């Protein structure tokens, strides 16, 4: 057991051999705790006691990571600058007049001689001081020799569907019209999500709003109006063609044949019938009129047949005169010779 390096050593007999296991104090390592532990991060150094970092020749610094021969071998200083080593192990360059930087690589140019003229966060550039005139590297959204002009971000027209573009500082915003959303107003909102159509109407989503397809008997923007239709017949002189007229009283009439079909529409909510609904009503009225006329014709024909008395002989009308003359000419040829009548004695 080594004093100060070993806390406890225990020896065991394993297969007739003594095996010793040592538990070391902090800062020591090895099978017999014979090596010290250097400072963590020590690169080119060693230790005599735990947590030391004694630098090797040519290296310096707290962790022995500084090359002390950098000035003599690498010569990092430029433009005739003098390289010196510091106590910390770093080097420093003593720059001549008109140069600056860690290695004296920068010249005192327009950007260094005066305050930067670049605005709105622009970066002043003068080729490390070797340029005769300075330039400004502008941030996104600005332009001009000194970055003094704010660019119009709406020139590219990023907003869709007729939205209004509002220019900002390196940004823009879109005021979307009704029915659209999103950053560029490209998302079409579902206007039928709230189920605006009433009385069983079917909703159709459109780009701007919605349209309700109403069931028969309803009308209005949301099918909120209930319709009530009445039909009236009035006798009028016969007409050869059908003409649809609209009176000032709000009723609609159509002439078919010798009668006038008048359709009177009254709405509970003072709504006006659409053109499609009016055409459907007129078509139904025309079909009804045709059925009535056909039924009346059939009834009249049956009544005339019943008027003929039973047992009477119905004679067909005589043939035309031309047909009778032809028949008289042909009759002697096909008829048998008649026997002459003898006078009675």
pLDDT of residue 190: 83
Do 173 and 204 lie in one domain? The reply is no
Tell me whether residue 65 is in a domain. Answer: no
Higher-confidence residue of 210 and 338: namely 210
Which secondary-structure segment (H or E) carries 18? strand 17-24
Tell me which residue of 163, 224, 156, 218 sits closest to 188, measured CA to CA: 163
CA atoms lying within 13 Å on the CB side of residue 100: 8
pLDDT of residue 74: 83
List, for residues 137-146, the tens digit of each pLDDT value: 998 888 899 9
State which residues form the domain around 293: 227-297
Share of the chain above pLDDT 70, in %: 69
* C-alpha–C-alpha distance, residues 64 and 45, integer Å: 6
Tell me whether residue 273 is in a domain. Answer: yes
Do 199 and 259 lie in one domain? The reply is no
- Under a CB-based contact definition with an 8 Å cutoff, are residues 228 and 267 in contact? yes
- Under a CB-based contact definition with an 8 Å cutoff, are residues 156 and 148 in contact? no
What's the Cα-to-Cα distance from 47 to each of 2, 15, 54, rounded to whole Å?
18, 38, 6
Which residues, at least 6 apart from 18, have a Cβ–Cβ distance to it below 8 Å? 11, 12
The bridge status of strand 135-137 relative to strand 123-125 is: antiparallel
Q: How many domains, the chain?
A: 5
DSSP assignments along 133-168, one per residue? S-EEEPPTTEESTTS-EE--TTTT----TTPEEEE-
* C-alpha–C-alpha distance, residues 116 and 125, integer Å: 9
Which residues, at least 6 apart from 186, have a Cβ–Cβ distance to it below 8 Å? 160, 161, 180
Tell me whether residue 216 is in a domain. Answer: yes
In this model, does residue 335 exceed pLDDT 50?
no
Do 80 and 146 lie in one domain? The reply is yes
Do 251 and 203 lie in one domain? The reply is no
Confidence class of residue 340 from pLDDT cuts 50, 70 and 90? very low
Do 93 and 141 lie in one domain? The reply is yes
User: Buried b / exposed e across 236-249, counting CB within 10 Å, b at 16+?
Assistant: eeeeeeeeeeeeee
pLDDT of residue 247: 37
Higher-confidence residue of 232 and 222: namely 222
- Under a CB-based contact definition with an 8 Å cutoff, are residues 18 and 11 in contact? yes
Do 202 and 243 lie in one domain? The reply is no
Do 208 and 161 lie in one domain? The reply is no
| Eight-class DSSP state of 289 | H
Compute the residue count for the chain. Answer: 345
* C-alpha–C-alpha distance, residues 304 and 298, integer Å: 10
Q: If you average pLDDT over residues 246-253, what whole number do you get?
A: 40
Tell me whether residue 21 is in a domain. Answer: yes
Do 83 and 129 lie in one domain? The reply is yes
Do 89 and 145 lie in one domain? The reply is yes
List, for residues 279-312, the tens digit of each pLDDT value: 999 999 999 999 999 999 888 887 766 555 555 4
Tell me whether residue 307 is in a domain. Answer: no
Tell me whether residue 5 is in a domain. Answer: yes
Do 83 and 127 lie in one domain? The reply is yes
Tell me whether residue 116 is in a domain. Answer: yes
Beta partners for 136? 124
Tell me whether residue 330 is in a domain. Answer: no
Residue 99 belongs to domain with CATH number: 2.10.25.10
* C-alpha–C-alpha distance, residues 60 and 66, integer Å: 5
Mean pLDDT for the chain? 75
Confidence class of residue 133 from pLDDT cuts 50, 70 and 90? confident
Do 235 and 291 lie in one domain? The reply is yes
- The count of other CB atoms within 10 Å of the CB of residue 59 is 17
List, for residues 10-53, the tens digit of each pLDDT value: 665 655 666 677 888 888 888 888 889 999 999 989 998 999 99
* C-alpha–C-alpha distance, residues 35 and 29, integer Å: 5
Confidence class of residue 256 from pLDDT cuts 50, 70 and 90? very low
List, for residues 98-121, the tens digit of each pLDDT value: 888 889 988 888 887 777 889 988
Do 123 and 79 lie in one domain? The reply is yes
- Measure CA of the first residue to CA of the last residue in the chain; give whole Å: 196
């Amino acid at each position: 057991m080594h004093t100060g390096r070993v806390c406890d050593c225990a020896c065991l007999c394993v297969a007739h051999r003594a095996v010793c296991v040592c538990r070391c104090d902090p800062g020591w390592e090895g099978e017999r705790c014979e090596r010290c532990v250097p400072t963590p991060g020590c690169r080119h150094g060693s230790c005599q006691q735990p947590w030391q970092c004694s630098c090797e020749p040519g290296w310096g610094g707290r962790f022995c990571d500084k090359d002390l021969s950098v000035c003599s071998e690498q010569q990092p200083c430029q433009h005739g600058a003098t390289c010196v080593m510091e106590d910390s192990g770093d080097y420093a360059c003593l720059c001549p007049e008109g140069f600056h930087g860690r290695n004296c690589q920068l010249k005192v140019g327009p950007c260094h001689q005066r305050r930067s003229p670049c605005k709105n966060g622009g970066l002043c550039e003068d080729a490390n001081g070797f340029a005769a005139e300075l330039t400004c590297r502008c941030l996104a959204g600005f332009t001009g020799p000194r970055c003094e002009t704010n660019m119009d971000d709406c020139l590219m027209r990023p907003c869709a569907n007729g939205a209004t573009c509002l220019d900002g500082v390196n940004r823009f915003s879109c005021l979307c019209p009704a029915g659209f959303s999103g950053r560029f107003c490209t998302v079409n909102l579902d206007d039928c999500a709230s189920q605006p159509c009433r009385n069983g109407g079917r909703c159709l989503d459109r780009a701007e709003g919605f349209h309700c397809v109403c069931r028969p008997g309803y009308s209005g923007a949301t099918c909120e109006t209930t319709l009530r239709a009445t039909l009236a017949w009035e006798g009028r002189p016969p007409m050869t063609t059908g003409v649809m007229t609209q009176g000032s009283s709000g009723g609609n009439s159509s002439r078919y044949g010798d009668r006038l079909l008048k359709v009177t529409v009254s709405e509970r909510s003072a709504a006006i019938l659409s053109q499609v609904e009016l055409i459907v009503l007129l078509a139904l009225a025309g079909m009804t009129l045709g059925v009535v006329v056909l039924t009346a014709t059939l009834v009249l024909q049956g009544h005339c047949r019943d008027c003929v008395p039973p047992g009477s002989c119905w004679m067909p009308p005589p043939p035309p005169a031309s047909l009778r003359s032809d028949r008289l000419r042909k009759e002697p040829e096909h008829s048998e010779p008649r026997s002459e009548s003898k006078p009675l004695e």
